[in-house]
Structures are given as C-alpha cells and as structure tokens.
Structure 1
Amino acid sequence: MIEIRNAAVSYRDPSGARVEVAQDLNLTLARGEMVYLIGPTGSGKSSLLKLLYMDVQPEYGVVRVGPYQSDTTKPHDVPFLRRMLGVVFQDFQLLPDRSAYDNVAFALHATGHRGAEVRQRTMDALSQVGISHRAQAKPSEMSGGEQQRACVARAIVNDPMLLLADEPTGNLDPRVADEIQKLLIKLNRQGMALLMATHDYRLVRSFPARTLALVKGRLVEVDPESL
C-alpha cells in the first residue's frame, strides 16, 4: 500500500543552502499494518510523514501511496491522495472558534459532502472516539485528551485507508496518552493502517508493534522490547 524507495528528504536553510534530513529511506507498509517511527526530536520523523502526504517531494528516490507516486503525481491530484489519508498532529490544530462537531464536519465539507450525510458521518466519528456527548464543546472547553479524540475523529471521518499520527500523545500525560494509544490501536484492528511517529519509548514498549528508528538519517528496524 505504501512504499518509500531509496528516497532522501532535505530543506533549504535561511541562506539557501540545502540541509539533508534523511537519505536512502526504504519503507513498505501493508494494508492494515501498524508501524511505529521512532527517533529523537529533530531526527526527521515529521519530514518522512510529509513525504507520504506529499507536502514535500523527495530529493531523490520514489514515494508511492496507493496509486499515487511522487514522480508522476501532479499538484492538482495531491488533494485526492490526501483523501485516502487521515493525519493526527501533536498540537491538535483544531479551529478554536468551532465546536468539536464543526471541526470534524469541516473535513467532510472540504471533500464535497453535504446535508444529512455530514451529520451522520460526523456523529459516527465522534461516537467512535468516545466524545459524541461533547459534540457542541469548543476546544477551550475540552480537556487535552478530548481535543485529541476530536482530532482523531476529524482524521477518520473520511474513512481513510491510512492514519498518520505525528507525536499524537506528545502533549498528554501518561494516563491520557495510553487512552489515545488504545484508541489508535482499536482503529488499526478495525482495518485502518497506522504509521505513528513518536519519541515516547514507554508507549512503544507498552503497546509493541513493528518499530522503525531514524538513526543518523536512515531507517533501521529495531526490537521494541530493547528500547
């Protein structure tokens, strides 16, 4: 379902010089699989995820997500690729002036859905993550765990084949982090592939799965029990 082949990712610093983040990246992810992506802050985890939703292009090599490939996908096709993906961020990125319901429904409106279908699918997603009773609450009225559940609901409301989670528990205390992790694992067991970037090794040990580490800009498979 996903393949990164001999790829590199870099960025330009303020002087215009190219700074290489990671190189010779190789990754395959099967439909319904769960994989952790670990490494310290700044190791390139977020950059690798950006390759998958084509927010950045590889310096060289190829990235393929379903039928979309980095060297052949046109810019106007990228929104269609992203409809196949759900993304959960560490800092929530909820619209502060809208309720949990409106934040989730916004993802449906953005992809052309209207009317009764929006209400049904939005409430189904909120129910799936356990906060349907908080549908009318705004982010400022919600706990950190509730806000992240709303983010997960927004990410899954379009029924993606892959969920990308970028440090989704980074701003949560351990008890709430475990609750969110159990929610993500439940979604994975229902058939949604999950690629989760994290530097929380406690979480990886507690809920083990295939684990890849970014080490000096390269991907290396590691035993989660060794962390």
Structure 2
Amino acid sequence: MDPAVDSAPDSSAPPSAGAPRERPLVEIRNVAAGYTDPNGSRVEVTSDLSLTLNRGEMAYLIGPTGSGKSTILKLLYMDVMPEYGLVRVGPYQSDTTKPNDIPLLRRMLGIVFQDFQLLPDRSAYENVAFALYATGKRGKEVKERALQALSEVGLGHRAKARPSEMSGGEQQRACIARALVNHPRLLLADEPTGNLDPRVADEIQKLLVKVNRQGTALLMATHDYRLVKAFPARTLALVRGRLIEVDPASL
C-alpha cells in the first residue's frame, strides 16, 4: 500500500517546513476516454480531463444527461480504461493495475447507482450481506456488519423486506448500506436521487452528506442543480470533455 495514501497525518503536530503534501486520494491526469454507441460509432467523452479529490473531500460532477459523468465514475472503478492519460485511486494506477487487481481496487470503493441494482429475490439484509460475502467475510461478522450498516442508514426495521416491498427511498438507503458495509475510502454516487421525488431526494442527500462528514470521500454525479445549491460542496461542471470548477450558488 502507498503510505502517502494509507497513513493519516498526525493532526496534533504542526506541519514542518518543507514537509511533503499528502497525495490526493483520486487523481485523473490528461485523460481521454469514450465509448461505442449502439450503432458502433465511437463517442468521445473526455479529451483532456484532469481531476483530483482529497481524502474525506466531497465534490459534485454536474452536467446534462449524456455528458459523460458516468464515464468519469467508471474510469475510477476501472470499468472504462483511458485511451491515454493516467487514472489513480489510492495505490491503483490505470497504467499498472492488472485485471486481477481490479476487484481489490473496488473493495476500497462504495458505488451507489440511480437504478438501485438490488438483487430482487433477496431481502435488504441479504443484499448488504452479499457485498461482505464477495470480499470473503463469513459468519457472525457478516450479520453484525450488515445489520449495523442498515441501522446507520435508518433501515434497520426493514432488514427482512425485499426490494418489491420497499419504497424508492428505502431501496436507495439499502444501496447506500451495501456501498458502505466494507468501509470504503471513496463513495461514488451516480445520480443517486434521479428516481426519487424531491422530499425523498433531500433525505438521501442528507444521508450522503453525513457519510462524507464521517470521513468518507464522496464524488457524486448529478444533474439536479437544486440539490447542489441546497447542499453546497465543491462543484465540477463537465463541459466539452473538460471539468471546470463552478460556484454552486451560480447554478
């Protein structure tokens, strides 16, 4: 592991003159990336993309639907690889990480999707526990951690409910519990309130902000400018393949 990433600085001691700055948790440098559309045509999403995100930081990715926000998140969990440039998350770099190491990268991430992606034939508890089983956890630890994660997102009383028995807000809370149960350093949220009405969206956003304030870095892709203004944080607009920092109050 990279000590610059994995060792927290001693906040009780003043920084010495000339001490090296802590490396960002996330770094994207001069990246080009795209995808192939259903017609087989190549669509360029980014041409010279750069981004850094520090430990414990919160930031929004904004832009209209189809602008490439999801592609940026996919670059970070290496579902999409850059055509050129560099992507680094913690100790994992796009130019050196082998396919067998990508599951290890994803263990340090939590991912929340717009469409929930819960297993329909399993309860909220079983959906959260599945994320633990996938990392090799077994027995009593799984039960304790899964129930604790559900309790932390306000869903402890619905542990036995299946997705079809839960509201949209409850399903998204289950997704957040699943994303957090392995104690990720970075939470990626892809339009997490896109399928929710404004009142429920606010509840979910308050939960995400709480998670961030407890120390988990958060990068959230959204086109809901109302939420960005109501819960302001660093805001990055994707414009013609590049990220431009903007004032949330100006949206």
Query: The TM-score by the shorter chain falls in which range?
Result: over 0.9
Report the count of equivalent residues. 227
Distance 1:25 1:217 in 2: 7
Q: Which residue of 2 aligns with 1:31?
A: 55
- 1:46 partnered with 2:74: no
Q: Which residue of 2 aligns with 1:103?
A: 127
Relative distance call for 1:140 and 1:12 in structure 2 (3 A) is same
Q: Which residue of 2 aligns with 1:67?
A: 91
Q: What are the equivalent positions in structure 2 for 1:118-197 lying under 5 Å apart?
A: 118-197=142-221
Q: Which residue of 2 aligns with 1:12?
A: 36
Distance 1:12 1:143 in 2: 34
Q: Which residue of 2 aligns with 1:202?
A: 226
Counterpart among 237, 242, 248 of residue 213 in structure 1: 237
Distance 2:170 2:131 in 1: 18
Distance 2:175 2:41 in 1: 35
Counterpart among 79, 83, 101 of residue 103 in structure 2: 79
CA displacement, residues 87-141 of structure 1 (integer Å, 9 cap, x when unaligned) = 0000000000000000000000011000000000001100100000000000010
CA displacement, residues 152-190 of structure 1 (integer Å, 9 cap, x when unaligned) = 000000000000000000000000000000000000000
Secondary structure, aligned partner of 1:51: helix
Distance 1:187 1:17 in 2: 39
- Offset of residue 17 of structure 1: 4.0
Normalising by structure 1, we get a TM-score of 0.98
Secondary structure, aligned partner of 1:56: coil
Root-mean-square deviation (Å): 0.8
- Offset of residue 18 of structure 1: 2.6
Q: Which residue of 2 aligns with 1:117?
A: 141
- Offset of residue 216 of structure 1: 1.4
Distance 2:186 2:52 in 1: 13
Distance 2:150 2:172 in 1: 11
Secondary structure, aligned partner of 2:148: helix
Relative distance call for 1:15 and 1:199 in structure 2 (3 A) is closer
Normalising by structure 2, we get a TM-score of 0.89
- Offset of residue 8 of structure 1: 1.1
Distance 2:208 2:138 in 1: 27
- Offset of residue 13 of structure 1: 3.5
Distance 2:161 2:36 in 1: 40
Secondary structure, aligned partner of 1:32: coil
Q: Which residue of 1 aligns with 2:22?
A: none
- Offset of residue 199 of structure 1: 0.1
Q: Which residue of 1 aligns with 2:19?
A: none
Q: For 1:168, give the aligned amino acid.
A: P
Listed as ranges, the gaps of 5+ residues in structure 1 are: none
Q: For 2:137, give the aligned amino acid.
A: H
Distance 2:220 2:247 in 1: 16
| Larger relative contact order, structure 1 or 2 (CA cutoff 8 Å, min sep 6) | 1
- 1:22 partnered with 2:46: yes
